[in-house]
Amino acid sequence: MNTTDIPLGHWFAVLTQRYYTQILHRMKVYDLDRWFVVLVAIAESDGHMSQQELSQQLMIDKVSMVRALDMLGAKGYVERVNCPDDRRKHHIRLLPKARPVVKAIKKAYVEVNALTLGSMSERSRSTFLRELQQMLERMPTDGMRPAKLTYTKKLPK
């Protein structure tokens, strides 16, 4: 099969699996194997974002966001805090236990991004990331049932 005949989704899936494996390898000392980007976004929001706002910012469906926050909360990384302006709304706050983990996640992202992008110039990187964003915008999933993703990869030793 000619590589140009292979669907783009296949290449993204392979790249995603390899990227995720590299991140897991760097994070193996922590009790966390997913939702890294959620934890970083919570840290950067400084406790001023609701779960709905996080869901929208990260393009994660609401049900998955609830699961992510439940898991991160059960591990002692985050807590839901009542919003002073709206009792129905909760802001998500980072707990002290999460600070070194967030630092490690950010370090892992820098390392794996550098590995993935290799010798691409800053200009090429910016163009590539802009093109990726445009691809996402061309692929709306509004009203569609999200594809089920399962984590089958064991943590590397």
Q: What is the DSSP string of 78-90?
A: EEEEEETTEEEEE
Tell me what pLDDT residue 149 has: 63
pLDDT tens digits, one per residue of 28-65: 999 999 999 999 999 999 888 999 999 999 989 889 99
Query: Would residue 74 count as lying in a domain?
Result: yes
Q: Model confidence at 152, in pLDDT bands (50, 70, 90)?
A: low
Mean pLDDT of the chain: 90
Q: Is residue 8 domain-resident?
A: no
Please report whether residue 27 resides in a domain.
no
In a domain, 7, yes or no: no
Whether the predicted pLDDT of 1 surpasses 80: no
Residue 155: pLDDT over 60: no
Q: Indicate whether 157 pLDDT > 60.
A: no
Domain residues for the domain of 116 are 32-138
Give residue 151's pLDDT band: very low, low, confident or very high (50, 70, 90). low
Q: What is the secondary structure of 1-51 as a DSSP string?
A: --GGGS-HHHHHHHHHHHHHHHHHHHHTTSS--S-HHHHHHHHHHTT--BH
* Residue 3 pLDDT greater than 80, yes or no: no
| Count of domains forming the chain | 1
Give pLDDT, residue 101.
Answer: 97
CATH of the domain at 39: 1.10.10.10
Tell me, what's the pLDDT at 87?
79
Q: Establish if 26 belongs to a structural domain.
A: no
Residue 97 lies in a domain: yes
Residue at 72 is within a domain: yes
Q: Does 122 reside within a domain?
A: yes
